[in-house]
């Protein structure tokens, strides 16, 4: 039986007295995109560093490609394609040569390397940029090149640590398109991100982390239905205007109300929320919209993204 790409049980990472990762357990299945979602400092990148053998685990058990990270770091690294937060490309070399240098790390012959580079450049539509210097590429093209580089040795698992941070919306969507294509081809992906829409677009399953712990796990759309509901009402009203409405909403079964600074979020109010939004008639004051992963995180933490 083939081992799962990643299995973790009771995983802990300590930095002095700080529990950056606090006893988490999860498993990544073949061919899926598995996400780690959460704010800065949640433990996402620390978990990735342990998976990629860049940081030793403190406690627990972590298997990657069926091998223990404590003892098989070299073999594990050969099974991984890693896309770090930073581009880490050589600015003095053209695009193709960046890929050639990287291929040597994995022992590919010149013939194998040439074939794989051609395939990866074509996949990410970089053929016309093959002889250009890295510094002449846009941010989106650089990220596509970094992902192409990670695929040179045909890894079993592609690890993406916040792959679209700093990109403009158009470039982000281009990267997402390529990642969806890879997933359709059966590539197993592990994704960390603090972009909620990115996780919803790409992940088959995800965990939401906060302060080193996993708060919940599941399919993004199932988590939205469970924790936020189909629709969320946002109220931007003064205390006097909102008070009678909150009184009315509090009587709705299973309703949840979160007050975050000057906005009130109402979950699970159904037809009552729709009636209130229609009665106010101003979306800037009462906005009824579909639930999303940001709502899930808000409900689970109770205080939004920053604490």
Q: What is the side-by-side order of every strand in the sheet holding 231-235?
A: 256-260, 263-267, 231-235, 286-290
Indicate the pLDDT class of residue 39, thresholds 50, 70 and 90.
confident
Dump pLDDT digits (tens) for 252-281.
Answer: 888 888 887 888 999 988 899 999 999 999
Give this prediction's pTM. Answer: 0.89
- The confidence score (pLDDT) of residue 298 equals 77
- The confidence score (pLDDT) of residue 304 equals 47
Q: Give yes or no for residue 73 having a pLDDT over 90.
A: yes
- The confidence score (pLDDT) of residue 243 equals 87
CA distance 234 to 43: 30
Specify the range with the lowest mean pLDDT, choosing from 4-13, 153-162, 233-242.
233-242
- Per the CB < 8 A criterion, the answer to whether 73 and 65 are in contact is no
Going by C-beta distance under 8 Å and a sequence separation of 6 or more, which residues neighbour residue 221?
A: 200
Q: What is the side-by-side order of every strand in the sheet holding 80-83?
A: 80-83, 157-161, 188-193, 33-37, 205-210, 213-218
Mean pLDDT score of the chain, rounded to an integer? 91
User: Mean pLDDT, to the nearest integer, of 53-63?
Assistant: 97
- Per the CB < 8 A criterion, the answer to whether 140 and 170 are in contact is yes
- 3-state DSSP percent of the chain in helix, strand and coil, to 5: 40, 25, 35
CA distance 79 to 176: 23
- Per the CB < 8 A criterion, the answer to whether 136 and 122 are in contact is no
Indicate the pLDDT class of residue 306, thresholds 50, 70 and 90.
very low
- The confidence score (pLDDT) of residue 1 equals 65
Dump pLDDT digits (tens) for 169-195.
Answer: 998 898 899 999 999 999 999 999 888
Helix 169-184 and helix 139-150, axial crossing angle in degrees, nearest 10: 20
Closest CA to 173 of 140, 142, 206, 203: 140
- The confidence score (pLDDT) of residue 241 equals 87
Dump pLDDT digits (tens) for 90-149.
Answer: 998 999 999 999 999 998 999 999 999 999 999 999 999 999 999 999 999 999 999 999
Q: Give yes or no for residue 28 having a pLDDT over 80.
A: yes
Q: Tell me which of 82 and 194 has the higher pLDDT.
A: 82
Q: Alpha carbon of 148 to those of 63, 187, 234: distances in Å?
A: 25, 13, 41
- Per the CB < 8 A criterion, the answer to whether 224 and 296 are in contact is yes
Q: Which two tokens stand for residue 183?
A: 């997933």
Long-range contacts of 104-110 (CB under 8 A, 24+ apart): 106/78, 106/152, 106/153, 108/152, 108/153
Indicate the pLDDT class of residue 159, thresholds 50, 70 and 90.
very high
What is the percentage of the chain residues whose pLDDT exceeds 90?
70
Q: Tell me which of 249 and 53 has the higher pLDDT.
A: 53
What residues does 266 pair with on adjacent strands? 233, 257
- The confidence score (pLDDT) of residue 303 equals 56
Q: Give yes or no for residue 199 having a pLDDT over 90.
A: yes
- The confidence score (pLDDT) of residue 302 equals 64
User: Mean pLDDT, to the nearest integer, of 29-56?
Assistant: 93
Q: Which residue matches tokens 């299995």? A: 7
- Per the CB < 8 A criterion, the answer to whether 21 and 11 are in contact is yes
């Amino acid at each position: 039986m083939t081992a799962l790409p990643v299995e973790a049980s009771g995983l802990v990472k300590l930095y002095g007295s700080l529990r950056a990762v606090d006893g988490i357990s999860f498993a990544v299945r073949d061919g899926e995109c598995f996400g780690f979602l959460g704010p800065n400092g949640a433990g996402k990148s620390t978990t990735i560093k342990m998976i990629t053998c860049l940081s030793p685990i403190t406690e627990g058990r972590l298997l990657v490609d069926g091998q223990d990270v404590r003892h098989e770091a070299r073999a594990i690294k050969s099974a991984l394609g890693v896309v770090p937060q930073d581009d880490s490309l050589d600015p003095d070399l053209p695009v193709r040569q960046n890929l050639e240098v990287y291929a040597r790390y994995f022992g590919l012959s010149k013939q194998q390397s040439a074939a794989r580079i051609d395939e990866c450049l074509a996949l990410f539509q970089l053929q016309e940029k093959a002889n250009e210097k890295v510094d002449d590429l846009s941010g989106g093209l650089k990220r596509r090149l970094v992902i192409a580089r990670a695929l040179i040795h045909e890894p079993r698992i592609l690890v993406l640590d916040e792959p679209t941070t700093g990109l403009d919306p158009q470039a982000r969507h281009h990267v997402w398109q390529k990642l969806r294509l890879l997933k359709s081809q059966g590539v197993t992906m592990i994704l960390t991100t603090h972009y909620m829409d990115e996780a919803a677009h790409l992940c088959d399953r995800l965990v939401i982390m906060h302060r080193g712990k996993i708060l919940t796990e599941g399919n993004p759309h199932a988590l939205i239905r469970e924790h936020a509901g189909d629709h969320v009402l946002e109220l931007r009203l003064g205390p006097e205007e909102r008070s009678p409405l909150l009184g009315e909403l509090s009587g709705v079964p299973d309703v949840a109300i979160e007050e975050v600074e000057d906005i009130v979020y109402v979950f699970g109010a159904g037809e009552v929320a729709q009636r209130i939004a229609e009665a106010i008639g101003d979306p800037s004051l009462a906005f009824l919209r579909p639930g999303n992963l940001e709502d899930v995180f808000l409900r689970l933490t109770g205080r939004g993204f920053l604490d």
